Amino acid sequence: MSQRPPTDRPVPEVLIVGAGICSLTLAILLEQINIPYQIFERASVVKPLGSSMVFAGNVFPVLEQLGIYEEIKKVSNPYDKGDYYDGNLKKLGSFNVEQCKIATGYDCRVFARPRFYEILLKRVPAHKISFKKKVVRTEEKDGKVTIYCSDDTSYTGDILVGADGAHSETRQNLYKNMDEKGILPKSDLEDFSIGHTTIVGVAAPSNPEKYPQLKSERCYVAALPDNQIGWGFGQQLSETDVKEIQSRNSEWGPQARDTAYAILEKYRDFPSPLGGTMGEIFDATPRDLISKVLLEEKLFKTWHHGRTVLLGDACHKFHPAGAQGAMNAIFDAVILANGLYNMNDTSDKSITTAFEYYSSQRYHRTEAGFNESVAMAKIMNGQANLLSYEYDYSALLKKWSERLIRNVVLNYIPSFIMDAQLRKILAYRPQVAWLPLVENRGEGPVTPQEFK
Rounded to 5°, the CA angle 96-89-256 comes to 90
Strands (E), 173-216: 193-203
pLDDT per residue as tens, the chain (452 positions): 444 445 567 889 999 999 999 999 999 999 999 999 999 999 887 766 666 788 988 999 999 999 999 999 998 888 877 766 666 667 777 677 788 899 999 998 888 888 899 999 999 999 999 999 999 999 999 999 999 999 999 999 999 999 998 889 999 999 999 999 999 999 999 877 766 677 777 787 666 677 666 655 444 446 667 777 777 776 666 555 555 554 454 444 445 556 677 778 888 888 887 778 888 888 888 877 777 776 777 899 999 999 999 999 999 988 766 567 788 999 999 999 999 999 989 999 999 999 999 999 999 989 887 777 766 666 665 543 333 333 343 444 455 666 676 666 666 677 777 778 778 888 999 999 999 999 999 998 898 887 76
Q: In angstroms, rounded to a whole number, what is the distance separating the alpha carbons of residues 158 and 343?
A: 12
pLDDT of residue 47: 66
pLDDT of residue 130: 96
Give every CB contact of residue 224 below 8 A, 6+ residues apart in sequence: 52, 76, 77, 110, 111, 112, 202, 214, 230
pLDDT of residue 282: 85
pLDDT of residue 126: 95
Q: In angstroms, rounded to a whole number, what is the distance separating the alpha carbons of residues 329 and 341?
A: 18
Nearest residue to 264 via CA among 215, 231, 312: 231
**Residues 222 and 230: beta-carbon distance below 8 Å:** yes
pLDDT tens string 111-145: 888 889 999 999 999 999 999 999 999 999 999 99
Burial class (CB in 10 A: 0-12, 13-18, 19+), 105: middle
Q: In angstroms, rounded to a whole number, what is the distance separating the alpha carbons of residues 415 and 421?
A: 10
* pTM listed for this prediction: 0.82
Going from N- to C-terminal start, the domains of the chain cover 11-51+112-191+298-399, 193-295
Give every CB contact of residue 352 below 8 A, 6+ residues apart in sequence: none
Superfamily of domain 11-51+112-191+298-399: FAD/NAD(P)-binding domain (3.50.50.60)
